[in-house]
Amino acid sequence: MMTNVSPGRLYGASLGPGDPGLITRRSWALLQRPDVYWTYPIRRKGANSYALQIALNAGLTLPADHSPLIFPMTHDTEILAAYWLRAAETVLIRLRAGQDVLFLVEGDASTYSTFGHLARTVRALDAGIAIETIPGVPSFTAAAARLAMPLADTDETVAIIPASYGIAMIERLLNDFDTLVLLKVKPLLDDILDLLERRGLLTHAAFIEKAGSPEERIERDLLKLRGQKVNYLSLLLVRNPNRQRGEMLRGCRKKSSLSTTETP
């Protein structure tokens, strides 16, 4: 006699930026379960997984039931789509057999995370699969705490972008935001340093790499970074204390920057 098996649930388990102490209680409870299938992202076959390493640094043992999922570092959408499909098909085998699947994510699973691609592809293949995202500590909040640099105060504004948007975009954002968080600064680091030096912001910025991990690196003298190779998991936190701000009008700030000012 055949019986119907209820499908498993796919979890995006946020593990924080590197410090095992920042793993939430919800993710920790899921990691303790003996019946859940672990998956985790790698960039290429045989590569290490930073997300998995966070779990191992927490004293957890990699279960016998696990699988790395390849998410290559490329902007080619056709190549990426093929890998997303392969990853989704891998986890669907387990999910359709009734097993819950845990996808380990560094930082927060809702913020520039590979989990979003996996979840969307799984949902497209099987709308009946339950998917749950476990929130976590993103790298930029951990970085602000480690650097003792507030992200925002009172009515200050914050922009969080990958540095790959380019120098022109970063400069425009400096006109509108009191704090800039520039993620993944590796490819444009020297150009960003030139911009910050020109704008007089070097002393109001700090660099951090692998925040909270045993390999954490902090640099406040940013010119020391010029010409250096830095890790992909690095960011710049830039405070912009001299930004021109609009006057208060009925409790709201009037538009003040060139990029937002209307012209007649």
Q: What is the pLDDT of residue 211?
A: 92
Residue reference for tokens 């930082």: 107
d(CA 213, CA 106): 11
d(CA 245, CA 102): 45
In a domain, 264, yes or no: no
The phi, psi pair for 115, rounded to 5°, reads -60, -35
In a domain, 260, yes or no: no
Q: Which residue type does 28 have?
A: W
Residue 16 carries which DSSP code?
B
Q: What is the pLDDT of residue 2?
A: 47
Looking at the structure, do residues 148 and 195 belong to the same domain, yes or no?
A: yes
Q: What is the CATH number of the domain that holds 217?
A: 3.30.950.10
In a domain, 1, yes or no: no
Q: What is the pLDDT of residue 154?
A: 86
Query: Which of 111, 134, 157 is the last residue in one of the domains?
Result: 134
Domain of residue 115: give its range: 9-134
Q: Which residue type does 24 have?
A: T
Q: In this structure, are residues 18 and 216 in contact, taking their beta carbons and an 8 Å threshold?
A: yes
Q: pLDDT per position in the chain (264 positions), as tens?
A: 445 789 999 999 999 999 999 999 999 999 999 999 999 999 999 899 999 999 999 999 999 889 999 998 888 889 999 999 999 999 999 999 999 999 999 999 999 999 999 999 999 999 999 999 999 999 999 999 999 999 998 889 999 999 999 999 999 999 999 999 999 999 999 999 999 999 999 999 999 999 989 899 999 999 999 999 999 999 999 999 988 876 655 556 565 555 443 333
Sign of CA dihedral 109, 115, 116, 122: negative
Looking at the structure, do residues 152 and 97 belong to the same domain, yes or no?
A: no
Looking at the structure, do residues 97 and 202 belong to the same domain, yes or no?
A: no
How far from 183 is each of 20, 34, 138, 162, 193, CA to CA, in Å? 21, 35, 11, 4, 14
E strand intervals along the chain: 9-14, 37-42, 66-70, 101-105, 130-134, 158-162, 179-183, 205-209, 217-219, 234-239, 248-249, 252-253
The pair of structure tokens assigned to 32 is 């303790």
d(CA 5, CA 96): 8
Per the DSSP assignment, residues forming a β-bridge with 239 are 179
In a domain, 123, yes or no: yes
Looking at the structure, do residues 178 and 247 belong to the same domain, yes or no?
A: yes
Q: What is the pTM of this model?
A: 0.86
**3-class DSSP assignment, residue 134:** strand
The pair of structure tokens assigned to 158 is 């914050």
Q: In this structure, are residues 88 and 122 in contact, taking their beta carbons and an 8 Å threshold?
A: yes
Q: What is the pLDDT of residue 76?
A: 85
Looking at the structure, do residues 128 and 14 belong to the same domain, yes or no?
A: yes
Looking at the structure, do residues 232 and 158 belong to the same domain, yes or no?
A: yes
Question: What's the number of domains the chain is made of?
Answer: 2
Q: What is the pLDDT of residue 116?
A: 95
Q: What is the pLDDT of residue 212?
A: 87
Q: What is the pLDDT of residue 263?
A: 36
